[in-house]
A and B are shown apart, each in its own frame.
Chain A
């Protein structure tokens, strides 16, 4: 599987490569097996009549998703998106051009569902769904990180991510799933997090963390777990509990809560912010995972739900939770009201940890010693799901403004990368969308090239030595790929690590459980 490949060079300006057909042809990532397929309700192996199943699934999806139906019809092949995908720029395989990726799906749609494709397939590029087409689907729809950069640039907003999700759902329906995503989802919907970390292990980890912080700072910052009646429920990617540099971000959240003097808790039942249900395109699986959070919020009787640093988790939380599980506001049906009546309507629900910290900064609730970060020159990587699919602060472009403002509040040296590679045009880290697995290392490295190129430029011109991000996948991916491009792997940090390093802790204890102490605090 692991074949040798060259690490792409980093030119001064990104050049659009000439197409190189078949450059990334291959078998795709490891396939899922029965053990992981069945619990999610997918067939254990490739079904006998897979063609029929696939076509009827396509028909079902296009009748359930307007995006799929409209996007399959309206592309005029203008080519505007062809040079927008980081995987194409890094690999030069033409099937990694967004429109060509869609065409893998569209050509089958045309063959089976359109007049022109049924009667004049050659004329309109309609193709049958045969073995080799299915192989191409599996391979190339797992070379899309669903980053939606192409959609920004398409005159009709055609979002290849929607097509990738649909294609992956069809693949799952015929029993050809991806191991990485489906295995993780199995753990998430049974144990409660992607790592399969059970409650005692999580509790131990948090106790260790508390001891570590107390040793280092002399302040007893607490990481409460399953504390009923807390004000805030924190939902964060499970990588925050153990992975580097993620955990330093978690330390930062804890310190901010501590300083605010608010009661908060994690949930062992819903100890995962990530929701890979989105990556495999399955509304039902995504909803299953989201429902755990609903249940935790109801059981723990919290009045606020806050989401930690994770890109697609924030997309699911911000854009989908209200739909999937009623975590939000403005519902009118019984189901959503049950939870929405419990949540405090003075705050946005759910709220991002950056919004929370930003708000405290604006209200002068936090003190920082910015010089603690003086040894760094920081740049910020806009994670694609946050940048293109969510908002923060309820102001236009808040998702770009708030994280930068938080960084600038705690660091003196901040530089942006080239405008074309940030904000809504940000380049994906290369590991999103369910691609963060070693069996996809080649495409991950090649796809990281455009981001690395922009980073290299600010390293040269402004001496940038720290890359801050608010996404667990970005952080893991960068740790792996940075050294391949001659960067220090430790230059990637959580935004809340920067906060953590600069924050001045002067409160003696963290409010641990609920209401009584809250009142006590308020009356002091």
Chain B
């Protein structure tokens, strides 16, 4: 194997390990941190089913964003939906051997890449031209969009222009990562750029705003059932405090405690 292929292989593993450890730590942290009070925000579901539906709508339709800003919603949704199609299309590289039928069905949706790119350009435009959004943007916010744009463009260059790469080789390489059967990688510049930036993206996932992906499921204003009067909701630390009588209103505290 060439040095280049070895380096990229190593980097993939490193970034993947960072991703898994980082995300696990974050998800465990969110899981372990109690939500001591009931704080769902209207329109609140009164049942667990209602909550599940609410989260499904947030994740698939970006319901709240739709209410607040139509332009952001259009661009944001195009980007994410495009990304979703693109990622499904990518499964074929990692699947060792024959790809199941179902994934072949989405292969024609290669134009998802354009949805993704248009969305990203729109979001970038908004960030640059709307004074309010510019005010709240840090360099990392632009860089994140640029990163995704370059990944998308380099990918699209391979898919839609004559600068193809040897996808059979890529498949061998990528599925080899999973089966520990490492192999050579084609060396077109556009592919190397694509892969290097993807490696970076995976590595920064747990330390950046990409934490919105697990976070959206943990948001207490969205995932709580509005049933505070019917069920006693109490966190572990508050219960301990109650048991230990830590909160005392000195002399005037009710004797019932």
Interface residues of A (CB under 8 A from B): 16, 18-19, 62-67, 69-71, 73-84, 94, 97, 99-100, 103, 114-116, 122-125, 148, 151-159, 162, 189-190, 283-284, 287-288, 291-292, 294-295, 298, 318-320, 322-323, 326, 328-333, 335-336, 338, 348-350, 387-389, 391, 394-397, 399, 423-425
Contacts and interface: CB of A to CB of B under 8 A. Distances in A.
Nearest to A97: B132
A362 B39 CA distance: 30
11 contacts: A64-B235, A74-B211, A74-B219, A78-B69, A79-B136, A99-B136, A115-B207, A153-B64, A283-B238, A291-B249, A389-B40
Contacts of B229: 318, 322, 328-329, 348-350
A319 B228 contact: yes
Nearest to A322: B232
Given A79-B133, A157-B219, A399-B42, A338 B65 contact: no
A338 B256 CA distance: 9
Given A67-B220, A159-B221, A323 B233 contact: yes
Contact of A148 (B41, B69, B204): B41
A333 B242 CA distance: 11
Contacts of B139: 122-125
A298 B207 CA distance: 50
Contacts of B249: 189, 288, 291-292
Contacts, number: 242
Contacts of A65: 33-36
Given A97-B135, A100-B136, A116-B208, A336 B232 contact: yes
Which 9 A-B pairs rank lowest in CB-CB distance, beginning with the nearest? A74-B215, A295-B254, A125-B138, A153-B68, A157-B221, A79-B133, A331-B232, A424-B42, A82-B132
A152 B67 contact: yes
A422 to B, nearest CB: 12
Nearest to A71: B219
Given A294-B256, A323-B238, A103 B218 contact: no
A99 B209 CA distance: 14
B29 A69 contact: yes
Contacts of A67: 35, 39, 219-221
What secondary structure prevails in chain A residues at the interface with B?
Answer: helix
Interface in B132-160: 132-133, 135-141, 143
Most B-side CB within 10 Å, residue of A19, A114, A323: A323
B59 to A, nearest CB: 10
Which of B126, B130, B215 has its CB near the most chain A CB atoms (within 10 A)? B215
Nearest to A189: B249
A221 B38 CA distance: 37
Nearest to B233: A323
A319 B6 CA distance: 57
B7 interface: no
Contacts of B143: 123
A83 B204 CA distance: 30
A73 B215 contact: yes
Interface string B48-67: 00000000001000101101
B39 A319 contact: yes
B44 A330 contact: no
Given A77-B209, A114-B207, A123 B140 contact: yes
Contacts of B45: 396
Nearest to B133: A79
B46 A83 contact: no
Contacts of A159: 39, 41, 221
Contacts of A397: 42-43
A76 B76 CA distance: 11
A397 B65 CA distance: 20
B92 to A, nearest CB: 29
B172 interface: no
A84 B208 CA distance: 25
A162 B219 CA distance: 12
B220 A320 contact: no
A97 B136 contact: yes
B247 interface: yes
A122 B140 CA distance: 9
B90 interface: no
A34 B191 CA distance: 65
Nearest to B236: A64
Nearest to B248: A288
A122 B231 CA distance: 46
A323 B37 contact: yes
A70 B228 contact: no
B72 interface: yes
Nearest to A99: B136
The residue among A81, A155, A298 with the most chain B CB atoms within 10 A of its own CB is A155
A19 B140 contact: no
A284 B247 contact: yes
Nearest to B230: A330
A287 B238 CA distance: 10
A19 B42 contact: no
A190 B221 contact: no
Centre residue among A80, A123, A190 by max chain B CB count within 10 A: A80
B194 interface: no
Given A124-B138, A152-B64, A388 B132 contact: no
B35 to A, nearest CB: 4
B138 A123 contact: yes
Nearest to B62: A155
Interface in B232-257: 232-235, 237-239, 241-242, 247, 249, 252-257
Residue from the set B45, B216, B228 with the largest chain A CB neighbour count within 10 Å: B228
Given A77-B136, A151-B41, A391-B46, A156 B33 contact: no
A323 B38 CA distance: 8
B234 A323 contact: yes
Contacts of A97: 132, 135-136
Contact of B222 (A77, A82, A103, A156): A156
Nearest to A288: B249
A46 to B, nearest CB: 25
A79 B35 CA distance: 26
Contacts of B26: 73
Contacts of B209: 73-77
